[in-house]
Amino acid sequence: MKKRATMPKGALNLTASLVSILAGLLVGFILLMIFNFDKALYGFGNIVLTGLRTPDRVAKVLYTAAPLLMTGLSVGFAFKTGLFNIGASGQYTVGAVLALVGAILWQLPWYACILLGMIGGAVWGAIPGICKALFNVNEVITSIMFNWIGLFSANLFLYNSPRMLANAWGAINKDRTAALDKANPSAILPKLGMDKAMGSNYMNISIFIAIIAAFVMWYVLQKTTFGYELKACGYNRNASRYAGINDKRNIVLSMVIAGALSGLGGALYYLSGTGQFTMGKQLLSMGFNGIPIALLAASHPLGTILSALFIGYIQVGGEALQPEFAKEIIDIIIAAIIYLSAFSLLMRELILRGRSRRRQAEEEKSRQAADTVEE
């Protein structure tokens, strides 16, 4: 009975997501044809196939997917509570920088740095949460402001902490943080020999940590009273108050957790030891890409694993687009997918509503039949 009630919904979600993915890829293909007709097929092949060509590309996909999965979980978790966490980018940035501070300044091991990253993200998520709970300021505006404030404070801090920068550790760059293999190899995420097996320095345990996080989130939302309260708040804030649930506390907590997830994503990415944090004036796109990932998965934590792997996959494919095409084509594809998945949410709802109406009608009929007998 239970299977029959839930399975179609999952299948429905999957179908809807697949439809928007295919449509998004089609948009990408059309664009490729417009800009360079001759190379279009070749470019499209790169997008769709690169990620599986060699083990080291697979490793790159997993490496890219790990932080994406975290920001996707972050956005999705907030969605479940009725909040739109567009601030994942800022939380990710602050988490990354705090993790790097642990690694470089304080010379901590990787797991301590991860914890710091989560704390950084949590604090950055908490502020919009508090503004929403106490002052009823729209969390979308607040988190966007805090994306910028987060980025600029990170830059400000790093420029004023000479020990953090690459040039303090034997390199010449002044615009990025030190490479971890120079500064603190013990802060690099363990690779457990997988790097050698797959022939890629990108391979490490980050994707597994992210997947574990997804399962934990699933458990929390589905099986605990805390998850029950959060969802009640998200679906109907008034009813949750009526039930004696502290809605304000839950809003803050939900943003704290969402922030911690994003912060963990930042930590995982920069503790891989392959990338250095570069001070720029652009928001990091990793946080924004959490939005399509969460939407594709209908905010379901386990679905997020799949959608993060997919987005990671086409991003790795996108890198192979250059120099014939701008790799931003991938961003267009992703944007098209979200735009279309906004429709698919609707399609999903229409199908479900149609069903429940039919069911209601049957009920109505049986009730009327019963009443006729009474007469």
Partner 1 sequence: MNILADILSATLLFAVPLLLVALGGMFSERSGIINIALEGIMVIGALISTLLLRAFDLSGFGPANPQLAVLIAVLAAGLSGMLYSLLLAFASINLKADQTIGGTALNMLAPAFAVVLTWAIQGQGNTTILIPGWVRITAENAGLAGAEGFFARLVFKSLYLTTPIALVLMAVSSFIMYKTRLGLRLRSCGEHPQAADSVGINVYRMRYIGVLISGFLGGVGGLAFTLAAGSGFQSQVAGYGFLALAVMIFGNWKPLNIFGAALFFAFFKIIGSYSGSIPFLPDFKEIRSSEYIYLMLPYIVTMIVLILTSKKSRAPKAEGIPYDKGAR
Partner 2 sequence: MSEYIIEMLNITKSFPGIKANDDITLRLRKGEIHALLGENGAGKSTLMSVLFGLYQPDSGTILKDGAPVKISSPNDANALHIGMVHQHFKLVEVFTVLDNIILGAEKTRWGVLRKDEARRRVVELSERYGLKVDPDARIEDISVGMQQRVEILKMLYRDNEILIFDEPTAVLTPQEIDELMEVMRGFAREGKSILFITHKLAEIMKVADRCTVLRKGRLIGTVDIADTSREKLSRMMVGRDISFNVEKKESAPGEKVLEVEGLTVPSRLHKKNAVKNVSFTVRRGEIVCLAGIEGNGQTEFVQALTGLEKAGSGSIRLKGREMTDMPIRERSRLGMSHIPEDRHKFGLVLDFTLEENLVLQRYWEEQFQHCGHILRRPVREYAQRLIEQYDVRSGQGAQTIVRSMSGGNQQKAIIAREMDKEADLLVAVQPTRGLDVGAIEYIHRQIVAQRDAGKAVLLVSLELDEVMDVSDRILVMYEGEIVGEFDPRKVSVQELGLYMAGAKRDDKKEAV
Size of the site for partner 2 (CB under 8 A): 36
Q: Which is nearer to partner 1, 159 or 215 (CB)?
A: 159
Q: What are phi and psi of 177, to 5 degrees?
A: -80, 165
351 binds, among partner 2, partner 1, none (CB under 5 to 8 A by kind): none
Whole-angstrom distance, CA of residue 275 vs CA of residue 89: 17
Does residue 38 interact with partner 2 by CB under 8 A? no
* Least distance CB 231 / partner 2 (angstroms): 8
Q: DSSP strand E in 68-210: where?
A: none
316 binds, among partner 2, partner 1, none (CB under 5 to 8 A by kind): none
3-state DSSP call for residue 278? strand
Q: What residues numbered 338-357 form the site for partner 2, per CB under 8 A?
A: 354, 356-357
Binding string, residues 202-241; x marks residues near partner 2 by CB under 8 A = ---------------------xxxx-x--xx--xx-xxxx
Grouping H, G, I as helix, E, B as strand and the rest as coil, residue 280 is coil
The answer to whether the beta carbons of residues 326 and 43 sit under 8 Å apart is: no
Binding mask 237-266 for partner 2 (x = CB under 8 A): -xxxxxxxxx--------------------
Site membership for partner 1, residue 336 (CB under 8 A)? yes
DSSP-assigned beta bridge partners for residue 278: 176
Separation of alpha carbons 64 and 169, rounded Å: 26
Residue 100: Cβ within 10 Å count: 29
35 binds, among partner 2, partner 1, none (CB under 5 to 8 A by kind): partner 1
136 in contact with partner 2 (CB under 8 A): no
If the CB atoms of residues 1 and 172 are measured against partner 2, the closer one turns out to be: 1
33 scored as a contact of partner 1 (CB under 8 A): no
Which tokens in the block code for residue 371?
């009443």
Residue 354: contacted member of partner 2, partner 1, none (CB under 5 to 8 Å, by partner type): partner 2
Rounded distance between C-alpha atoms, residue 323 and residue 254, angstroms: 42
For residues 44 and 317, what is the distance between their CA atoms, to the nearest angstrom? 9
Does residue 242 bind partner 1 (CB under 8 A)? no
Q: Which of 142, 200, 262, 315 binds partner 1 (CB under 8 A)?
A: 142
Q: Quick one: which of 152, 215, 235, 242 contacts partner 1 (CB under 8 A)?
A: 152
Query: Residue 86's closest CA among 128, 149, 131, 135?
Result: 128
x/- mask, partner 1, residues 85-114, rule CB under 8 A, reads -x----------------------------
Distances (CA, A) of 30 to 38, 46, 303: 12, 15, 28
- CA 66/CA 117 separation, integer angstroms: 15
- Phi, psi angles (nearest 5°) of residue 189: -60, 140
Based on CB atoms, which residue is closest to partner 1, 244 or 323?
323
* Distance (Å, whole) CA 44 – CA 311: 15
The answer to whether the CB of 366 falls within 8 A of the CB of 35 is no
Which residues in this chain contact partner 1 in the complex, by CB under 8 A? Answer: 31, 35, 84, 86, 131, 135-138, 140-142, 144-149, 152-153, 155-156, 159-160, 281-283, 288, 291-292, 295, 323, 325-326, 328-332, 334-336, 338-339, 341-343, 345-346
> Which residues of the shown chain bind partner 2 in the complex (CB under 8 A)?
1-2, 5, 223-226, 228, 231-232, 235-236, 238-246, 354, 356-364, 367-368, 371, 374-375
